[in-house]
């Protein structure tokens, strides 16, 4: 079991990473000095698999527990679900000293993280991410929120958890498409970090079918160390340093939106965005072609898409220009000067941007 420390300005906390970590959750919450009620929040896929186990550990540690289970899917990240959860917490007399455990993927983590951030101005929050994407990304860093009208994550709060529990064993039940989607984020960290982490990601990607065993404690912890360093440096996305996590996401978000948020998973769209970033990095940042090829080969090995055939390039280009993170001077890209050497805040000439989008959407 590894214990990583996250120490952003607002509050420090630990991330437990290891096989069987879910069985340690109860004792780890007790070790925080918490007493009182614990509400385990999950979705309809994850609850039947893991809720009983987590509940048993919490009960054994002396907690009074109850649960909230929502249907699965991004469509649940709504203010209506938030209000419904407030109602349940109110009926159960939940207050400041009590704890919310978010057991599930990024949807459960974002939604119940926001509930915990806002109910009575803040309950104790424990993130127990169960998708690869949430284990390496959403579970750590303190971004919580819901979708509002057309705005994804439009309403939310920065709210760090008290504890994060990451058990790679739960990935065994994850559908392979979700596993692959998370793998795109793992590649992102590998390209950002270079060095040993990139070697490890490559080793995990080689030979044979994609399965959960490839994403072990060491690999997940390696990705988390990258995320933690960035979050500690720029907790609330103020200095611009957190932007490095956006590698592959400028084009990725546009592809995801152009596909109506259903054609591509987030990770598939990010994989396409990473391919665009690699190509732009060669053109604009001096990334050697051989290093760009190495990155693309890694995405290939994981079975991540190479083309978004059938998307309208004009629409994708338009969506890039409307990027949520665009500043007054336009869209700022994260590109690579080399593997492990990201640079933020870069402008891409519009003709080159069009060319790359046309390439991605061809075939």
Other C-beta atoms closer than 10 Å to the C-beta of 243 total: 20
How many helical (H) and strand (E) elements, i.e. helices and strands, does the chain have? 14, 11
Q: Which residue is nearest to ligand NAD (CB)?
A: 106
Interface residues toward ligand NAD, by CB under 6 A: 43, 45-46, 49, 72-74, 77, 104-108, 110, 130-131, 133-134, 137-138, 141, 143, 153, 170, 173-174, 178, 266
Tell me if residue 249 is catalytic: yes
Give min distance, CB of 140 to ligand NAD, in A.
Answer: 8
Cβ burial, residue 199 (10 Å; 0-12/13-18/19+): exposed
User: Residue 276's Cα: distance from chain center in Å?
Assistant: 20
Tell me if residue 185 is catalytic: yes
Is 324 strand, coil or helix?
Answer: coil
Report the alpha-carbon distance of residue 106 to residue 164 in Å, rounded: 13
Cβ(273)–Cβ(184) under 8 Å?
A: no
Beta bridge partners of 70: 43
Residue linked to tokens 């080793």: 203
Report the alpha-carbon distance of residue 20 to residue 175 in Å, rounded: 20
Give min distance, CB of 185 to ligand NAD, in A.
Answer: 8
| DSSP conformational letter for 48 | I
**Residue placing its CB nearer to ligand NAD in the complex, 103 or 287:** 103
Tell me if residue 242 is catalytic: yes
Cβ burial, residue 159 (10 Å; 0-12/13-18/19+): buried
- Angle at 236 (CA atoms; ends 230, 242), nearest 5 degrees: 30
Tell me if residue 237 is catalytic: yes
Give min distance, CB of 128 to ligand NAD, in A.
Answer: 10
Report the alpha-carbon distance of residue 358 to residue 313 in Å, rounded: 6
**Residue placing its CB nearer to ligand NAD in the complex, 48 or 345:** 48
Tell me if residue 67 is catalytic: no
Catalytic choice (81, 227, 275, 279) = 227
- Angle at 150 (CA atoms; ends 324, 313), nearest 5 degrees: 65
Catalytic choice (45, 77, 124, 143) = 143
**Residue placing its CB nearer to ligand NAD in the complex, 34 or 181:** 181
Catalytic choice (214, 266, 275, 279) = 266
Give min distance, CB of 66 to ligand NAD, in A.
Answer: 20
Catalytic choice (81, 178, 180, 185) = 185
**Residue placing its CB nearer to ligand NAD in the complex, 175 or 310:** 175
Give min distance, CB of 279 to ligand NAD, in A.
Answer: 24
Catalytic choice (246, 256, 268, 275) = 246
Catalytic choice (45, 81, 180, 253) = 253
Give min distance, CB of 107 to ligand NAD, in A.
Answer: 3
**Residue placing its CB nearer to ligand NAD in the complex, 153 or 344:** 153
**Residue placing its CB nearer to ligand NAD in the complex, 156 or 222:** 156
Percent of the chain as helix, strand, coil, to the nearest 5:
50, 20, 30
Element (H, E) at 154: strand 151-158
| Active-site annotation, residues | 121, 143, 185, 227, 237, 242, 246, 249, 253, 266
């Amino acid at each position: 079991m590894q214990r990583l420390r996250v120490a952003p300005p607002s509050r420090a906390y630990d991330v437990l990473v290891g096989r069987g970590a879910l069985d340690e959750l109860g004792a780890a919450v007790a070790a925080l000095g918490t007493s009182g009620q614990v509400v385990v929040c999950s979705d309809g896929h994850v609850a039947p698999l893991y809720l009983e186990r987590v509940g048993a550990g919490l009960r054994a540690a002396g907690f009074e527990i109850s649960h909230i289970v929502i249907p699965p899917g991004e469509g649940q990240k709504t203010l209506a679900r938030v209000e419904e959860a407030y109602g349940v917490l109110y009926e159960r007399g939940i207050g400041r000293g009590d704890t919310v455990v978010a057991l599930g993927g990024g949807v459960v983590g974002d939604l119940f993280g926001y509930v915990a951030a806002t109910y009575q101005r803040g309950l104790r929050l424990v993130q127990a991410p169960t998708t690869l994407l949430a284990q390496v990304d959403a579970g750590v860093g303190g971004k919580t929120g819901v979708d509002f009208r057309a705005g994804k994550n439009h309403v939310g709060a920065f709210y760090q958890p008290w504890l994060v529990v990451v058990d790679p064993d739960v990935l065994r039940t994850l559908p392979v498409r979700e596993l692959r989607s998370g793998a795109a984020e793992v590649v992102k960290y590998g390209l950002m970090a270079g060095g040993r982490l990139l070697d490890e990601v490559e080793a995990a990607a080689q030979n044979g079918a994609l399965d959960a065993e490839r994403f072990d404690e060491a690999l997940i912890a390696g990705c988390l160390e990258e995320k933690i360093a960035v979050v500690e440096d720029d907790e609330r996305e103020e200095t611009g340093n957190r932007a490095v996590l956006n590698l592959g996401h400028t084009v990725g978000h546009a592809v995801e939106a152009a596909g109506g948020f259903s054609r591509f998973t987030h990770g598939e769209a990010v994989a396409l965005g990473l391919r665009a970033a690699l190509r732009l990095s060669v053109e604009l940042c001096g990334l050697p072609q051989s290093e760009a090829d190495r990155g693309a080969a890694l995405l290939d090995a994981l079975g991540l898409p190479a083309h978004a055939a059938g998307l309208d390039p004009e629409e994708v280009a338009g969506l890039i220009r409307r990027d949520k993170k665009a500043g007054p001077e336009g869209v700022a890209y994260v590109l690579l000067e080399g593997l492990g050497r990201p640079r933020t805040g870069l402008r891409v000439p519009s003709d080159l941007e069009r060319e790359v989008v046309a390439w991605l959407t061809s075939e």
